[in-house]
Homo-oligomer: A and B are copies of this chain.
C-alpha cells in the first residue's frame, strides 16, 4: 500500500528517475521533436509550442527538480500540531496521503514527471491524462517513471498513464467517486469548464493567470521598468506572466515612453487606455477593448492602463485579475501594505516580478500547478498540498461526560 511506503524506496525511485532523465535525454528529445513537428503541422500557436518544447536545459531542470523532491522531507506522517486536552487525551494532527489523484493536463510533457514525482513522494497513486499533442513525449517520460518504480520495488500501479483521450474519458475519470479522490486539471478554460460540467470527484483548479504589475507614483522607475519587462517578456506563455501593466498617473509620463519602447522592441503588441496611449510617445499602442482587461494572452501582448490612485489600481486588479499573482512597485511601506492586504490573490508581490509564483522558486521542489482557488491549496501545489490530515487521539479510557 503506497500510503504506508517508507521514505527510502520513494527517494530511491526518484533519484533513479533523475538519472534516467539525464542519461536518456536523447530519447526524450527525439520523441518531443516528433510531437513538435506534428504540433507545427497542426498549427498550434506559439504559446502552446513553447509549453510543448523540451530542451536539454529543460530536461536537466526536470531532473534537478526530481532530485530536490527526493531531498525534501517526506510529508507523510509529518505532525502538523499536537495538544494535550484537559482530560488527558493526546491529540496529534498528522499528514497522510489523499489517495488517488488524477492529473489532467495539456501540452506540457514536464507535468508527467513533476506530477509522478510529487504524487509518489506524498504517498498518492496518480492517474496521468496528458494531451494527445504531447503523446510521444509523455510516453517516453512515463516509461522512464515505470522503469524507476520497478527498480525501486514499488508497485507499478502507483503511476497509471491513460492513453486515448477525449471527453468521454475525462467524464469517466471525473465521476469515479470513491476511487479517485482528487483531480487536478492543468490547462486553459476549455478544460476547466469541461471538468466543471461533469466532475463529481473534487477538483483543484490549477487555473489561468491574468496577472498585473502596478507601478505606484513613488516607484523607483528603473526597478519598475525591469520588473514589468521581466513579468511580460521572460516567458510569456506561462500563467504567472503579466498581462496588464497599471501605472499611477503621476508616474506615467516618466515611465511609459522608455518601458513601452523596450516592450515593443521585444515584440510585445501593446494596447492601452487613452491616457496610456497619450503617454506612449512614438511607440505604437492600440486601443484596449473591454475584453483586453480580462484576457490572458499567453503570448507577447500587454494591456496598459493609467490609474488615478492606489485604490483604483486595487479595484482594477480585484475586478479583472484571476487571483494568481499581482505585483506593486513602490518605495512606500504604506502603499505596499495596503496593496498586499487589499488585493485578493494567491501571491502578492512588492518590488518583484510576478514570475516567481512557482513551487520550484518557492523551494517546494516541483509543483503540479498553481491553485487560484481558495480551498485546500492556494498558490503552488507541492508536496504538502497533496496531503490531507488525520487526527490521532490517544487516551487511557476517556469517555465523554
Contacts and interface: CB of A to CB of B under 8 A. Distances in A.
Interface stretch (A24-32, A47-55, A343-351): A343-351
A165 B376 CA distance: 30
Nearest to A97: B374
Contacts of A151: none
B375 A204 contact: yes
A349 B202 contact: no
A230 B393 contact: no
B373 A378 contact: no
Interface of A is mostly: mixed
A389 interface: yes
Contacts of A220: 397
Interface string A194-212: 0010001010100000000
A350 B85 contact: no
Given A362-B85, A375-B376, A390-B346, A397 B234 contact: no
Contacts of A397: 220, 223, 226-227, 351-352
Interface centre among A229, A235, A395 (most CB of B within 10 A): A395
A390 B347 contact: yes
Interface stretch (A108-116, A134-142, A250-258, A353-361): A353-361
B361 A391 contact: no
A220 B362 CA distance: 50
B200 A373 contact: no
Contact of A85 (B93, B361, B390, B400): B361
The complex is assembled from copies of this chain, and their number is 2
B398 A91 contact: no
Interface string A229-251: 11100110000000000000000
A401 B227 CA distance: 11
Contacts of A344: 96, 99, 390
A374 B399 contact: no
Contact of A357 (B204, B348, B391): B391
A83 B379 contact: no
A392 interface: yes
Interface in A332-352: 336, 340-342, 344-352
A230 B98 CA distance: 31
A132 to B, nearest CB: 28
A4 interface: yes
A401 B344 CA distance: 27
Interface of A: 4, 83, 85, 89, 91, 93, 96, 98-99, 181-182, 196, 200, 202, 204, 220, 223, 226-227, 229-231, 234-235, 336, 340-342, 344-353, 355-357, 361-363, 373-376, 378-379, 388-401
Given A352-B394, A375-B388, 16 more contacts: A4-B341, A4-B342, A89-B356, A98-B374, A196-B200, A230-B399, A348-B391, A348-B393, A351-B397, A351-B398, A353-B398, A356-B398, A357-B391, A375-B375, A378-B389, A378-B390
11 contacts: A83-B362, A98-B374, A230-B400, A231-B399, A336-B394, A349-B395, A351-B395, A352-B396, A352-B399, A353-B399, A355-B400
